[in-house]
Amino acid sequence: MSPKAIKTTFVMLFIFLFLFIINQFFRENKLLLEERNSWQEKAILYAEQVDSLKQNDGRPAANGTDTVLPAVSIQEVKTAALTFSPGSEDRLNYSISLTLANKSSGRTLPVACLLYFVSLTPEGDVSRTTPRVINIPALAAGERKELLLNGGIDLEPGEELVLYIDIPANSTGPVKKSVTLFETFD
């Protein structure tokens, strides 16, 4: 092959690669614009839903497709067992019984809720917060269900452990409850 043919081949290959890279750039840019437009549409839809909820005092609009969520309430929180781990004076093992009830005439949907274990110093300041996600099962109208929660958490001497439960919004608004589980104050 002559040097002129090699040079022409490299120039053609360079032009081809250049055009290929430019094409990929425009293609990726088009995909990103489509994704941005999709997210903007979703954001507008969610903003409209939030405005609708604000206008209806936290209840979904009754337009045939949305239904009012039944009310879940926390009936009782009991400490079944609190023990320190063997060989460790700062690891507290817990077993907590949480009784929930559906106070409406409709069936609830399964929902995830957050439990926060809040450690307080003797002065009442928050030293740390440990979140835990639990799943609340579906409840039939008027049904009560007991959930047993087991686990462990680290505590420093002199701290108080408070359990804060937050169930997402339903027809009566968010359900929140705070319970003192353990006090080590002298």
53 CB burial (10 A radius; 0-12, 13-18, 19+): middle
Least confidently predicted of 18-22, 140-144, 180-184:
180-184
73 by DSSP, 3-state: which?
strand
Structural domain that includes position 138:
72-183
State the total domains in the chain: 2
Give the domain-ending residue among 67, 89, 120: 67
pLDDT tens-digit series, residues 98-129 = 888 887 777 777 777 777 777 877 777 777 88
Q: What is the pLDDT of residue 22?
A: 95
CA 109 to chain centre: 16
My answer on whether 113 and 170 are in the same domain is yes
- Please state whether the predicted TM-score (pTM) of the whole model is above 0.75: no
Residue 129: enclosing H or E segment and its boundaries?
Answer: strand 126-136
> Is residue 114 domain-shared with residue 100, that is, in the same domain?
yes
- Name beta bridge partners: 83: 93
102 and 164: one domain?
A: yes
